[in-house]
Amino acid sequence: MKHPIFYVTVLLVIVGLVQAQDCALASDFNVDCGYSGITQAECEGKNCCFDSTIPESKWCLYKPAEAPAKKAECTVDPSIRIECGDPGITDKDCRGSNCCYDESIPDVTWCFQKAAPTTGRLYTLFFSLFPV
């Protein structure tokens, strides 16, 4: 190996291109992976994509391959959401507790348990009506 710096540089470029493809975001797949104010390092530490080039949008997003599943686990009808934190919990603290956070609908639970992965909303509804 006569030029190790050259080979390392080529390897880093290839890794960067692969990561850029993983994070090629389409509007259909924009599923929030962070919280308001998340840094690029925190976002990428969660293995998510960071893009701060579009003002007033979500900057930390799940990779397109993971987005549909992540969106499904936090798609819970507001009437059957199960509280997952104290009132007033922050987005960061809620997500840090492995819960879903959605403040888009007033007067409902914003920090709530994820839908069950295999049985979805019916499972959540059953256990909200009949807690164990």
Domains parsed from the chain with CATH numbers: 74-132 (4.10.110.10)
Higher pLDDT, 125 or 43: 43
Q: Is the pLDDT confidence value at 96 over 80?
A: yes
CB 78 within 8 A of CB 109: yes
pTM above 0.75, yes or no: no
pLDDT confidence band for 82 (50 / 70 / 90):
very high
Structural tokens at position 108: 């409902």
pLDDT confidence band for 3 (50 / 70 / 90):
low
- How confident is the model at residue 97, as a pLDDT? 92
- How confident is the model at residue 118, as a pLDDT? 52
pLDDT confidence band for 58 (50 / 70 / 90):
confident
- How confident is the model at residue 29, as a pLDDT? 59
Do you know the residue count of the chain?
Answer: 132
- How confident is the model at residue 17, as a pLDDT? 36
Distances (CA, A) of 12 to 15, 43, 45: 5, 20, 18
- How confident is the model at residue 37, as a pLDDT? 86
Highest mean pLDDT among 13-17, 23-27, 38-42: 38-42
Higher pLDDT, 125 or 67: 67
Structural tokens at position 94: 């809620």
